[in-house]
Amino acid sequence: MDIAFSSRPANTVGGDYYDAFVPDGTVPEPAPRRLLLVVADVAGKSVPAALLMATFQASLRTMASASTPLPQLVARMNDYACAHSLGGRRFTTAFFADLDLGTRTLSYIRAGHNVPFLRRASGGLERLEAGDLPLGIHGGRSFACASTSLLPGDLLVIFTDGVIEAVNERDEEFGEARLLDLVRAVPAETATATLQRFTSAVEAFVGFTRQHDDITWLVLRME
């Protein structure tokens, strides 16, 4: 697979988070069997959001292990978020995906996050919608998990709301429709080239308007 990331905070620091890592306890030889993909966004901006996201990352890395099923991991992260969300005011949206590198099965949970897009090599477009409330709203709950298969040439696009809520000088939002058009039109190219294509389109739309929210992408292309 080919993966590219990008995160640009609205201020000096931001509350977005992206990651792709092999869980602790996964045997490295002959090859890892699982890859965790995460994109998250803490409500708010600047230092308070960045501090909470830093502890979110550390907790996720600590809790994740090769033997932890994705629903259990997300439930634990939700309980952690509830303990630090200031009564739900600092909730976190997140998209978690667990990719089995042997079968190429992607299990995922969308915790109140923007719906990622899966553009098939055939040109078909799928929305990874299965999910529940953001993290930090209600403790002790379970989260619905869904799965799909990733095939050679498939493109997975995960992003934060700063992408579709980016505004231009006429106060128009970039919007999901424009992003969908971009995803549908992507040629066969590297993940980095696709990411550059997306960011350039958003920048051209926004022009000189000041960025008002963090913008984060994770682009994965199967080979």
By 3-state DSSP, what share of the chain in percent is helix, strand and coil, each rounded to 5?
30, 30, 40
Q: What is the pLDDT of residue 44?
A: 62
Q: What is the pLDDT of residues 63-97, one digit of tens each?
A: 888 778 999 999 999 998 888 776 656 788 999 99
- This prediction has a pTM of 0.90
Taking the C-alpha atoms of residue 217 and residue 120, their distance in angstroms, rounded to an integer, is: 18
Q: Which neighbouring-strand residues pair with 8?
A: 215
- Average pLDDT for the chain: 88
Please compute the mean of the pLDDT values over residues 147-172 and round it to a whole number. Answer: 94
For the chain, domain boundaries: 2-221
What is the third-level CATH fold of 2-221? Phosphatase 2c; domain 1 (3.60.40)
Q: Within its chain, how far is the Cα of 74 from the centroid?
A: 14
Q: Interhelix angle for 175-185 vs 191-206, to 10°?
A: 150
Q: What is the pLDDT of residues 19-69, one digit of tens each?
A: 999 887 655 555 568 899 999 988 766 566 677 788 888 889 888 887 789
Here the tokens at position 205 are: 């739309």
